Amino acid sequence: MSTDLPIDLRLSEEQRISREGMRRFASQTMAPGARAADEAAAADPGVLAGIAGFGLTLMSLPEALGGAGLPRSPMGNVLACEDLGEGDLSQSLAALAPLGVVNALLDFGDEAQHEAWLPHFASEAPVPAAVALAEPRATFEPGDPHTRARRDGDDYILDGEKCLIPLVEQCQLFLVVAATDDGPAAFIVEADSPGLSRARQDYMGLRSAEPGTLTLEGVRVPASQRLANFDLERLVSLSRIGLAALATGCCQAVLEQCVPYALERKAFGEAIARRQSVAFMIADMGIEIEGMRLLTWRAASRAEQGLPFQREAYLAFLQSMEKAMRIATDGVQVFGGAGFVRDYPLEMYYRNLRGLSALHGALMV
């Protein structure tokens, strides 16, 4: 970059306006319905449609393909993840999964692939789609997928198992990452391909994201559906940024719940907020959230400016994953027994935030 920008923490006018709308939706629609969706283990179609209505997938699509033609904006996406994540991490993950696919197509697809697949996302009702990277192994490493794609004439044949895919049963398209003879590659796989099967899986949290596994047994995919310029490191790093932003938002929700509760709940004749043991837990939540947020913003800002950002994304994700769990567990602790019962959302935040350790590549910003 030849420009000489000052250090700056101001959001642009557009970012501020778009934040306002999302924060309103998160607090008025998402948060109140999060518990019911979790209990039902089903995303609320109204929430999914509402988030789709913000048109995030449209923003960076070329105008010729029905989009707004704006430059890719990891920073803008991060703000969306943070705001929606404060409403409900789980349903945000489900609703934003197609955005991850769009961004992967934009960044890694060639022109023909753009023309073939991007129009699916050029409306405020994008087709359900998700990136399928994670595999059900304790030592899973994104750079070493066990799902294989072997070349067979003009096709590839895919075999393997993927997991933690949001809205797995509704998806029409998957972006499957598989090992080939020349390294990891990404394939656009249609849900009705022979040999493809899927099943819901019950998890500790993220239940309203309707996640599950995808099994590929001899699935034949045309070679033209292998993304031309795939960069796994970029996909993983941009997704780490997205997940860190979702966690930041959800942790903010923990804090917003703890403040009024600690001020109202009385013990030994006064509000528990007036005891340092409780007040300091809340202070540390605020302090660590600030650190998570700024690490995430920096990584996104570097990505947006075209600077290297792998290290920054890694650090943002690591810090967010670990501090988020501390914050979530302290959130339950501040509420005491009330944190453990399902009347309050604290135990849900706790269950949802643990999911960060298992999600890979799920939300490329």
Binding piece for other proteins, criterion CB under 8 A, among 88-96, 106-114, 206-214, 313-321? 313-321
* Residue 311 contacts other proteins per CB under 8 A: yes
195, amino acid identity? G
* Residue 321 contacts other proteins per CB under 8 A: yes
Strand partners, 214: 162, 198
165, 209 contact by CB (below 8 A): no
Among 29, 172, 193, 301, interactor with other proteins by CB under 8 A:
301
* Residue 204 contacts other proteins per CB under 8 A: no
* Residue 75 contacts other proteins per CB under 8 A: yes
Give DSSP secondary structure letters for 253-275: HHHHHHHHHHHH-EETTEEGGGS
Please identify, using beta-carbon distances, which residue of 141 and 169 lies nearer to other proteins: 141
Tell the burial category of 266 from Cβ atoms under 10 Å away from its Cβ (0-12, 13-18, 19+).
exposed
The closest of 185, 174, 113 to 149, measured between CA atoms, is 185
Tell how far CA 236 is from the center of its chain.
11
Binding piece for other proteins, criterion CB under 8 A, among 87-95, 180-188, 194-202, 276-284? 276-284
Neighbours of 354 (CB within 10 A): 18
What's the closest the beta carbon of residue 296 comes to other proteins, in angstroms?
10
Among 201, 314, 325, 329, interactor with other proteins by CB under 8 A:
314
Q: Determine the Cα–Cα distance for residues 75 and 297; give it in Å rounded to an integer.
A: 7
Among 295, 334, 348, 363, interactor with other proteins by CB under 8 A:
295
Tell how far CA 19 is from the center of its chain.
17
What's the closest the beta carbon of residue 291 comes to other proteins, in angstroms?
3
- DSSP designation for 121: G
* Residue 206 contacts other proteins per CB under 8 A: no
Tell how far CA 175 is from the center of its chain.
15
| Pairing of the two strands 173-180 and 129-132 | parallel
283, amino acid identity? A
In sequence order, the 6+-apart residues with CB closer than 8 A to the CB of 270 are none
What's the closest the beta carbon of residue 10 comes to other proteins, in angstroms?
6
* Residue 305 contacts other proteins per CB under 8 A: yes
What's the closest the beta carbon of residue 278 comes to other proteins, in angstroms?
9
Neighbours of 69 (CB within 10 A): 13
What's the closest the beta carbon of residue 159 comes to other proteins, in angstroms?
23
Size of the site for other proteins (CB under 8 A): 54
* Residue 243 contacts other proteins per CB under 8 A: no
* Residue 283 contacts other proteins per CB under 8 A: yes
In sequence order, the 6+-apart residues with CB closer than 8 A to the CB of 150 are 156, 157, 180, 181
Report 134-173 residues binding other proteins (CB under 8 A): 139-143
* Residue 277 contacts other proteins per CB under 8 A: no
Where along the sequence are the contacts to other proteins (CB under 8 A)? 4-12, 75, 139-143, 255, 259, 262-263, 273-274, 276, 279-280, 282-284, 286-288, 290-292, 294-295, 297-298, 300-302, 305, 307, 310-312, 314-316, 318-319, 321-322, 357, 360
